[in-house]
């Protein structure tokens, strides 16, 4: 399982305040905590509605994070200028988080995906909205994979995000996303599957419990990337245990070594 640490995100009050104040210490601490907890990538989101601000935030974040950690980054933005800055300044092969079938997002970002050597999160949203079942997720995946491979991406550079929807709104959505992961994995065994899983628990108490349960089921179904908080209690051990149960940890060595 590849863990993309989600904590450096402007939607978090602490990070938004750090961006506004250019508080380097807070960002460095968030990066170090996630690296120490087991993150493989650090997601960087400097979202800001003010003109030109998101691009400046991305430039500052990526410079700061790369100066203080060896981890590669995920450039988390739908702003083409911010994406260009993030992808061009990445020292190691980055991830673009994310592109979708929504035309106003796909058209400006697809040329950047083709221009830069990067992996890309393929979010299965379209102009028709969010998918709710298995079939529409598979259909959206086929369309988006086709667009990305036509733009020059290899199949193993694509991380399909099946759209994790709140089960508090639609109780069937949890089962649907797990079944969709299994169907996508069966049809395209070489690509990767993952995304922002924590959406699934929105609106529920004790969200951590739901997130860990969803994580284990999604790993069994074939998910191999996750955008999560690696510092959350129990999350890394849940990942290791789920991979061992799914037969993705030979002789359970990863689990045993970590538990020791």
If phi > 0 it is left, if psi is from -120 to 50 it is alpha, else beta; for residue 234 that is left
- Sole residue written with tokens 């949203």: 125
Alpha-carbon dihedral sign for residues 151, 192, 209, 200: positive
The average pLDDT across 53-66 equals 98
Residues 6 or more apart whose Cβ sits within 8 Å of residue 136: none
Domains of the chain by start residue, with CATH: 2-232 (3.20.20.20)
pLDDT number for residue 123: 98
Q: Which helix or strand (DSSP H or E) is residue 178 part of?
A: helix 173-187
Q: Give pTM, 2 decimals.
A: 0.96
pLDDT number for residue 146: 98
For the stretch 40-56, pLDDT in tens is 999 999 999 999 999 99
φ and ψ of 5, to 5 deg: -70, 125
Sort 128 into a burial class: Cβ within 10 Å, 0-12 / 13-18 / 19+.
exposed
Of 76, 56, 72, the residue nearest 7 (C-alpha): 76
The yes-or-no verdict on residue 240 having pLDDT over 90 is yes
> How far, in Å, CA of 41 to CA of 248, rounded?
20
| pLDDT classification of 9: cutoffs 50, 70, 90 | very high
- The rounded percent of the chain whose pLDDT value lies above 90 is 99
Upper half-sphere CA count for residue 27 (Cβ side, 13 Å) = 29
Whether the CB-CB separation of 9 and 76 falls below 8 Å is answered with yes
Residues 6 or more apart whose Cβ sits within 8 Å of residue 94: 41, 72, 73, 74, 75, 86, 87, 116, 118, 119
The average pLDDT across 128-134 equals 95
Cβ neighbours of 155 (radius 10 Å): 13
Whether the CB-CB separation of 63 and 27 falls below 8 Å is answered with no
For the stretch 145-204, pLDDT in tens is 999 999 999 999 999 999 999 999 999 999 999 999 999 999 999 999 999 999 999 999
The yes-or-no verdict on residue 112 having pLDDT over 90 is yes
Of 155, 92, 88, the residue nearest 120 (C-alpha): 155
The yes-or-no verdict on residue 260 having pLDDT over 90 is no
């Amino acid at each position: 399982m590849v863990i993309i640490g989600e904590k450096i995100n402007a939607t978090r009050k602490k990070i938004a305040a750090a961006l506004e104040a250019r508080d380097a210490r807070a960002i460095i601490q968030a990066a170090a905590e996630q690296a120490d907890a087991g993150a493989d990538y650090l997601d960087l989101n400097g979202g800001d509605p003010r003109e030109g601000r998101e691009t400046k935030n991305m430039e500052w974040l990526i410079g700061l994070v790369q100066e203080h950690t060896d981890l590669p980054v995920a450039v988390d933005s739908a702003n083409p200028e911010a994406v260009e800055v993030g992808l061009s300044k990445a020292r190691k092969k980055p991830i673009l988080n994310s592109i979708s079938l929504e035309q106003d997002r796909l058209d400006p970002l697809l040329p950047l995906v083709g221009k830069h050597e990067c992996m890309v999160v393929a979010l299965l949203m379209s102009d028709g909205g969010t998918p709710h079942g298995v079939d529409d997720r598979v259909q959206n995946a086929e369309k988006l994979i086709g667009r990305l491979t036509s733009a020059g991406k290899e199949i193993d550079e694509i991380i399909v995000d099946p759209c994790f929807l709140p089960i508090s709104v639609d109780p069937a959505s949890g089962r649907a996303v797990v079944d969709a992961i299994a169907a996508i994995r069966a049809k395209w065994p070489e690509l990767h599957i993952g995304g922002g899983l924590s959406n699934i628990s929105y609106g529920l108490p004790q969200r951590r419990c739901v997130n860990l349960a969803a994580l284990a089921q999604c790993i069994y179904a074939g998910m191999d990337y996750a955008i999560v908080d690696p510092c959350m209690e129990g999350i890394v051990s849940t990942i290791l245990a789920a991979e061992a149960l799914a037969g993705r940890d030979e002789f359970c060595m990863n689990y045993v070594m970590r538990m020791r």
